Structure 1
């Protein structure tokens, strides 16, 4: 938040308040969202992610979770099997269960989701950076998933939750880019990582065949679209170039933190954790090398000295392994150094 362009954003918000009071009913029934924002997203995706989608195929949602929930309600019938990554985002599993579907857990390894001949017609996947491990799905596996979807008549939902922050190497093309002809992939993006988390603006790039059903479902819950002020402000921010300038600045900030934390963890804690190789994102993931009892004891000892992390068990981790998710976006570089030093100190005490 220290790096967020508050003054510029606030000026934009005030300007949009003035404009909305002059035409209060404009777009009052547009479930797809503010058209100028959909145009700005289409241009951004074309430049930055290689996705060539017209604004008409983009729908604005209140965060990616709303997109996931609406898609499951549109696509899932009672007792339908739905393939989910394990470990994976727990919100997806909740949405599938709420729609009456049956989660089919798919294994994840160091190269992401492991393809199988699933008897299902819907798959949720995070190919650019598997959530939460950070593994990247290779080209061969991506092509395998697309062939599977074509054979099954299935839909693949691609959740691209933090691809904006790549710290080294070339950007990874989304699965959506490979889906040129069949229209099997739904692409979900969000501004929660790049802007204010409270903004609650995400978007969905839909195949033509799903457009009307998805918009009808969104209109059912929101006859009048919410957050139009924020949508209009974000559209103006993007059109002015302010969003890309903000992204460039945050990439530099996060890359410095990422590379520092990665180097320190590999140097000082590789005897405890097997780190998943990563070049992007706002967290690092490690598999615990010991058993559950030693993991629980170590985590408790670290909490006592003021250092904590997200336990991978929250993400439906298979019972045979323990894992940890180390976020760094909220920390200064000095706090990162101090935190890793404490983690190392606790390890040395525990092993004496």
Structure 2
């Protein structure tokens, strides 16, 4: 029956966007929490937000095309541009996030709500300048809102997507941080013109969407209010852990780190206040004491001042205190070597 065949194809196309119930739940959640007037039909789910970023990069970037990436910024995005045949253009970051310029590019990646890795929050004036740039250049902005759900004080500034009146912004979100890392589930809120090309491109990699059972379970969890309660509870917990770490870091002997201000997220970015050679020796000594932190050099495109990223969401108060005790011992080890 011809009509039946068309109905099956239509259902298959809708399924490739992700579970409809989950897309509706995401749209409702974003309207309430982020001020984004999202429609379920403009949302596409992915097996993790990084899958969505890579696919959209391949879709939007021609070979040799230029894409602005934050510097410092998430190295996975820079790598996505490179493997797509594009040229990463470093966008300078200061204490207020990405500094707008008139870049010669048609694609820009940005983390305005909580810059990765520094945690800087982009002010409203800068957000508007980015939108003006996108309109003038007929460019697309991919806004990665990777962990700003966990905010423990103040009210967030509206995302770029909420300010976008010309459908220039793709908003990327993820459940891997908010639920658990094993749940590889992300989504994109797309301009209407990008929905069909994105779904078609996704079908090449994933003819049938993965994790439909998990998607439906999450949709039910969100619809019943469980997800919102979970976020509020975890934000309180992580906020307390972040507060403890932020208080302990400046107390390390030797005046080693200056934590950057922040009121959201799951890690603290801290500038190293001593020499570059001492930083390398301190990190090695910390590893010997079974304490690990990320060297922020991983996120740079050019040399810069030493800094570290301290993740804290997986540690309780006693573990944070013990970690700081071991870091103090590690610094003592460095001093004894001198």
Q: TM-score range by the shorter chain?
A: over 0.9
Match of 2:249 among 234, 243, 265: 265
For residues 167 and 317 of structure 1, the distance between their equivalents in structure 2, rounded to whole angstroms, comes to 31
- Superposed CA RMSD: 1.7
Given that residues 28 and 225 in structure 1 are in contact (C-alpha distance below 8 angstroms), is that contact kept between their aligned partners in structure 2? no
Q: TM-score, normalised by structure 1?
A: 0.89
Q: Deviations over 1:282-339 (max 9, x none)?
A: 0000122233211100111111112110111222353132210000011111010111
Correspondence 1:283 to 2:261: no
Residue aligning to 1:313: 297
The residue correspondences of 1:136-151 to structure 2 (distance < 5 A) are 136-151=121-136
Correspondence 1:63 to 2:44: no
Given that residues 167 and 258 in structure 1 are in contact (C-alpha distance below 8 angstroms), is that contact kept between their aligned partners in structure 2? no
Correspondence 1:167 to 2:152: yes
Residue aligning to 1:16: none
Given that residues 123 and 157 in structure 2 are in contact (C-alpha distance below 8 angstroms), is that contact kept between their aligned partners in structure 1? no
For residues 192 and 18 of structure 2, the distance between their equivalents in structure 1, rounded to whole angstroms, comes to 17
Q: Deviations over 1:230-268 (max 9, x none)?
A: 111111111111111211221121111011111111343
Q: Secondary structure at the match of 1:108?
A: strand
Assess, with a 3 A threshold, how the Cα gap between structure 1 residues 201 and 273 changes in structure 2: closer, same or farther: same
For residues 11 and 222 of structure 2, the distance between their equivalents in structure 1, rounded to whole angstroms, comes to 19
Give the superposition deviation at 1:349: 4.8
Give the superposition deviation at 1:78: 0.9
Q: Secondary structure at the match of 2:210?
A: coil
Correspondence 1:97 to 2:82: yes
For residues 165 and 149 of structure 1, the distance between their equivalents in structure 2, rounded to whole angstroms, comes to 28
Residue aligning to 2:178: 194
Given that residues 27 and 34 in structure 1 are in contact (C-alpha distance below 8 angstroms), is that contact kept between their aligned partners in structure 2? no
Match of 2:103 among 114, 118, 126: 118
Residue aligning to 2:73: 88
Q: Deviations over 1:179-235 (max 9, x none)?
A: 1x2111100000011112111111100011211111111112112111111111111
Give the superposition deviation at 1:348: 4.2
Given that residues 90 and 301 in structure 2 are in contact (C-alpha distance below 8 angstroms), is that contact kept between their aligned partners in structure 1? no
Q: TM-score, normalised by structure 2?
A: 0.93
Give the superposition deviation at 1:275: 2.0
Q: Which moved more, 1:270-279 or 1:119-128?
A: 270-279
Given that residues 78 and 100 in structure 1 are in contact (C-alpha distance below 8 angstroms), is that contact kept between their aligned partners in structure 2? yes
Match of 2:217 among 224, 228, 233: 233
Unaligned stretches of 5+ residues in structure 1: 1-24
Residue aligning to 1:11: none
For residues 230 and 347 of structure 1, the distance between their equivalents in structure 2, rounded to whole angstroms, comes to 45
Give the superposition deviation at 1:347: 2.6
Match of 2:16 among 20, 28, 31: 31
The residue correspondences of 1:293-332 to structure 2 (distance < 5 A) are 293-316=277-300, 318-332=302-316
Give the superposition deviation at 1:119: 0.3
Q: Secondary structure at the match of 1:59?
A: strand
Given that residues 297 and 304 in structure 2 are in contact (C-alpha distance below 8 angstroms), is that contact kept between their aligned partners in structure 1? no
The residue correspondences of 1:338-349 to structure 2 (distance < 5 A) are 338-349=322-333
Correspondence 1:154 to 2:135: no
Give the superposition deviation at 1:99: 1.3
